[in-house]
Structure 1
Amino acid sequence: MTLEQIRIFLCVAELSHVTRAAERLNLTQSAVSAAIAALERQYDVRLFDRIGRRIALTEAGHLLMGTATRLMREAEGARALLSNLSREPVGSLRIWASQTVTSYWLAPRMIEMHRRWPGIGMSLHPANTAEVAEAVASGLADLGLVEGDLPPSDLLRRKVGQDELLLILPRHHPLARKPRLDAADYRAMDWILREEGSGTRTATERHLRDMGLSPTDLRIVLQLPTNEAILGAIRAGNCVSMLSWRSLHFPCSRDFALRRIGWAPRPRRAFTALSDPRRFRTRAMTEFLDLLAPQPPGQPPNQPPRPT
């Protein structure tokens, strides 16, 4: 039994799918299948039942999960400890980040991290805020980056940036130029919202509460999983939504009326780094967190564009 076989087993068990596990591990499907088959053959045990295109853990597979997870955590801790003993930060940093952070904020900072410390390998997995927090807690991610609120947990949190949502309308929408909107206006509009569990959805619902509303009070036409899908839907119809101003720093923003909230508390949210205090803090993670830290006092933060 090798650590690589255990790593592959855990990924396949999590996703219940060989092809998706191969994509995440950056391996071929045949290599993943061969690793699982070798493990089963070596110990004469079946770890998965094959059900059509999907697979499910057997009882033996479930029994192996706990030990395999602990084994990989110990191995990762040993690698982190050895990496920390070198003169320069080396090793790997597995980052999970929510969509707005991934698409509009994180990439330049990862490039700067590579410029400073080329010996650190970084991987990035996009997910929504709830999924990122779960990945950090389960050990799939070394570091999580999210926007918006999270329920209480033992994860360490560090503010690394900030964001603000704008109300997005088609330019021709009858309410696009109204100076102040009220709850009746919100009820009269057709809405497209992000999916539950996303930071954008959480911030939107908090804004609705400030307006004395909840999602059930709105005419919700669609719930979509990406900012780009929402912008495309707004462009095609007469719907509205709330999105980060960072998603609109492109020529396509000319197609929309961007309204900065002035009739209720502005829907601002923090970008937060999540880490697990139970796991060894590597120099790679420390260096990256220091790079992501907020601007010092007195230096103006990024601001949303002027409303149109």
Structure 2
Amino acid sequence: MTFEQLRVFIEVATQLHMTRAAERLNMTQPAVSASIAALEASCGMPFFDRVGRRIELTEAGRLFRAEAEAILDRVSRAEAVLNDISGLRRGRLRIFASQTVANYWLGTRLACYRARHPAIALSVTIANTAQCAAAVVSGDADLACVEGEVNEPLLVKVALPGDRLVLVVGAAHAWADRSPDGASGFDPARLLETAWVLREHGSGTRQAFEDRCRDLGLAPSLLRVALEFPSNEAVLSAVAAGAGATVISELVARAGLAAGDLRLVPFDLPERTFLLLRHADRYRSKAETAFVEMVRSPQGQRALPAAG
């Protein structure tokens, strides 16, 4: 039994399809099949049932999968320790980030980190806040940067300077050239007058807007949501086309406001912090520590490159 056979087994157990597993592993399908056959032969029992063109885990396979995943997790932790011994001369950092953070905040900071630690392999996955938190919990991410609130006891949350949400509409919207009541005297009931274009549930932006509605005594379920999108850009495109109003990060809306495609509606929305998430119980590598220290420092917050 080898670590490579365990990795192949776990991927096949996840995909329940030899060809898809082979594609994910960048291997040929015969090589994957041979690896599974060798593993089953060494253990003296089948881990998969072949049912027509489908494969299913046997009871032995289901039990073995949990142990195989635990073994590879320990191997990964051992590799992280060895990478630390090398003094950040090799290693990796897997970051998940929510859309606003990834597209408008993270890029310059990653460039700064790369300049300081060029040997660290970086990977970034964009997802919504809920998905980012789940990735850190599961171990698919080392760190996550999000703009939404996260209630997960397994995660350590580090507050970072964030952004401000704004209420915007298209140029032809009824609110485009006037405030509904003025920023300080806005009647929350007037939010029910218009259609809304919002991010999907699980988005930090959506969560912050709905929390503000609750603070104003308005149930979010009463909002007339015309469209939902998993993309900030799709939201702004629909709003500019006249589909309704939205609340979105000022960082995201800035270009549309400058071009005149969007109009700002005075509405009191609080500033919000971004959160950096890491697992409370997992080993914290030097690569992670260096990133956290950088983005928390004044230089990292301005995303200035390292001197020298």
Same fold (TM over 0.5): yes
Contact residue 8 and residue 32 of structure 1 kept, 8 A: no
Alpha carbons of structure 1 residues 251 and 235: separation in structure 2 relative to 1, 3 Å = closer
Q: Structure 1 residue 292 and structure 2 residue 292: aligned?
A: no
Residue deviations 1:65-92 (CA, integer Å, cap 9, x gap): 3112211211111111111112345201
1:140–1:112 distance in 2 versus 1, CA, 3 Å: same
**Structure 1 residues 240 and 79: alpha-carbon distance in aligned structure 2, compared to 1, 3 A threshold:** same
Deviation at 1:115, TM superposition (A): 0.8
User: Is the contact between residue 172 and residue 242 of structure 2 (CA under 8 Å) also seen in structure 1?
Assistant: no
Query: Does 2:205 correspond to 1:200?
Result: yes
Q: CA RMSD in A?
A: 2.9
Tell me, yes or no, if the aligned pair for 1:147 and 1:271 is still in contact at 8 Å.
yes
- Separation in structure 1 between the aligned mates of residue 241 and residue 77 of structure 2, nearest angstrom: 50
1:280 alignment counterpart = 283
Residue 214 of structure 1, CA deviation: 2.0
Deviation string, structure 1 residues 197-244 (Cα, Å, up to 9, x no partner): 111111111111122112211111112111111111112224011111
Partner of 1:182: 187
In 2: Cα distance, 1:163 partner to 1:19 partner? 44
- 1:273 Cα deviation from its structure 2 partner: 1.1
Residues 1:5 and 1:253: Cα distance change in structure 2 (over 3 Å): farther
Structure-1 residue corresponding to 2:102: 102
SS in 2 for 1:141: coil
Deviations 1:258-295 (A, max 9, x none): 23533xxx233221111112211111111111111153
Q: 1:17 Cα shift?
A: 7.0
SS in 1 for 2:263: strand
Q: Is the 8 A contact 1:164 1:269 kept in 2?
A: yes
TM-score, normalised to structure 1, is: 0.83
Q: Does the 8 Å CA contact 1:158/1:274 hold for their aligned counterparts?
A: yes
**What percentage of residue pairs aligned between the two structures are identical?**
38
Instruction: Give, in whole Å, the separation in 2 of the partners of 1:253 and 1:13.
Output: 51
Residue in structure 2 matched with residue 111 of structure 1 by the alignment: 111
Report the AA paired with residue 264 of structure 2: L
TM-score by length of 2: 0.83
Q: Is 1:256 aligned with 2:259?
A: no
* In 2, Cα distance between equivalents of 1:10 and 1:268: 44
CA distance in structure 1 between the aligned counterparts of 2:62 and 2:4, rounded to whole angstroms: 18
Go from structure 1 to structure 2 and tell me whether the alpha carbon gap of 1:88 and 1:146 turns closer, same or farther (over 3 Å shift): same
> Hey, what's the Cα distance between the residues in 2 that align with 1:130 and 1:158?
16
Unaligned runs of 5+ in 2: 303-308
CA separation of 1:153 and 1:33: change in aligned 2, threshold 3 A? farther
TM-aligned CA deviation for residue 93 of structure 1: 0.6
Instruction: Tell me: CA distance 1:58–1:239, structure 2 relative to 1, closer, same or farther (3 Å).
Output: farther
Within 5 A, what are the aligned runs for 1:1-308? 1-11=1-11, 13-14=13-14, 28=26, 31=27, 33-34=29-30, 36-42=32-38, 43=40, 45-47=46-48, 57-176=57-176, 177-178=178-179, 179-180=182-183, 181-250=186-255, 254=259, 255-259=261-265, 261-262=267-268, 266-293=269-296, 295=298
8 Å Cα contact 1:5-1:35 kept in structure 2: no
Instruction: Tell me which residue corresponds to 1:306.
Output: none
Cα distance in structure 2, aligned partners of 1:256 and 1:175: 11
Query: Which moved further from structure 2: 132-141 or 251-260?
Result: 251-260
